[in-house]
Structure 1
Amino acid sequence: MVSNVKLILAFTVLATLACTGYAIKCYQCDSLTNPKCGKDIKSDADLVLDCSRTAPPRFLQNFFPVRNATGCMKQTIEIPGNPQIVRSCYFGDLNNKQTGCQTDVSLTTNKLLSCEVCTENECNGSSSMAPIAGVILLFFGLARLLA
């Protein structure tokens, strides 16, 4: 009986982890309107967006038949006078960043300087060991429970 409970618990944990794997969370902000979003982002839960709840920008919607975000991106855009950092969800092929990283063509004075794309939660911010430490603790806790 106890082994059945452990097995059910293990499957529940694995199913929960698998279900959350489909939705990616990214920082959504720009350094022009939010100083926390600059080169070294100040981690803030208010800046994190669940990308499954947003659609691609209107100027990209013709390119993508699937509406799900595939990652996070950090763009550096030159606006006349100064560079601006924009962090958001990434829509498109991760191997072909030319389409997904493009800026709004109606903003003719903006120039894309760089675009970094990643696939982990909140990876378009500064790096942190907290998610890795949490997974390690979960693994050892589950291993001890099943032992």
Structure 2
Amino acid sequence: MIEKYQLLLGTFCLVTLFGTGFAFNCYQCDSTLDSNCQENWDHSLSYNRQKYQPCNLWNAKFCIKATGMWGGVVGTHRFCSSRDLGDQCQDIWFPDHDRMYRACVYTCTADGCNGAKSWSSGSVIFIALFSALLAVVRQL
């Protein structure tokens, strides 16, 4: 009976520990809806309100940053993707505008734009508590 609980607790600990480690995260925002979603920002600044968010897209492997014209406004859109859209820019001329616009798409997969979470203090505390509980169960 105790072995069954040990196996269950061990499995639960592993899922909790490694479940967050494999999460794919990207910045996800649209500058037309969020003024904090500009083309350029310093992710390390404390006042930056943008945070990584888990990708809720099946097979998401890429983070995309697209800059261009949406609804008559130049803006930036960041999102998750299951496809590599590459890095490319194109000059676009709108007949009713007096200038040319540059639209760009950037794709990334490296830490810093989609890094998996490191061990959080919550995960470490959780594992320590279950290790203590397991030691108590073994002595029963």
Give the alignment's TM-score, normalised by structure 2.
0.50
More strand by share: 2
